[in-house]
């Protein structure tokens, strides 16, 4: 999915893809890059608050990147 997202980002001149958000009738799947060699996948219920979820993902990705350095 990230490879496809990266290709779309390049084709549409949107830059590097940081996150792919998939919304289904039962919830969300969010793929977030954690550097060159790692990806974080978060699965959330449809009742999850998207704003809070995105803030938490951003925070934890920062922590993961520090660990992987």
What are 30-62's pLDDT values in tens digits? 999 898 889 999 999 999 999 999 999 999 999
Tell me the pLDDT band of 8, cut-offs 50, 70 and 90.
confident
Degrees (nearest 5) of the Cα angle 24, 28, 32? 130
Residue 3 is predicted with a pLDDT of 73
Q: What pLDDT is recorded for position 51? A: 93
pLDDT at residue 60, rounded to an integer: 96
Place of tokens 């977030």: 32
Q: Which CATH architecture has domain 2-68?
A: 2-Layer Sandwich (3.30)
Tokens 């803030």, residue?
A: 55
- % the chain with pLDDT above 70: 97
Q: What count of residues does the chain have?
A: 69
Indicate the helix (H) or strand (E) that contains 67: helix 50-68
* C-alpha to C-alpha distance for 3 and 56, rounded to whole angstroms: 24
Between CA 29 and CA 41 the distance in angstroms is 7
């Amino acid at each position: 999915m990230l490879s496809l997202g990266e290709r779309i980002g390049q084709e549409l001149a949107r830059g590097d893809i940081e996150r792919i958000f998939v919304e289904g009738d039962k919830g969300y799947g969010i793929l977030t890059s954690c550097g060159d060699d790692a990806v974080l996948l978060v699965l959330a219920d449809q009742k999850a608050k998207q704003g809070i979820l995105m803030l938490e993902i951003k925070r934890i990705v920062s922590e993961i990147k520090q660990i992987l350095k």
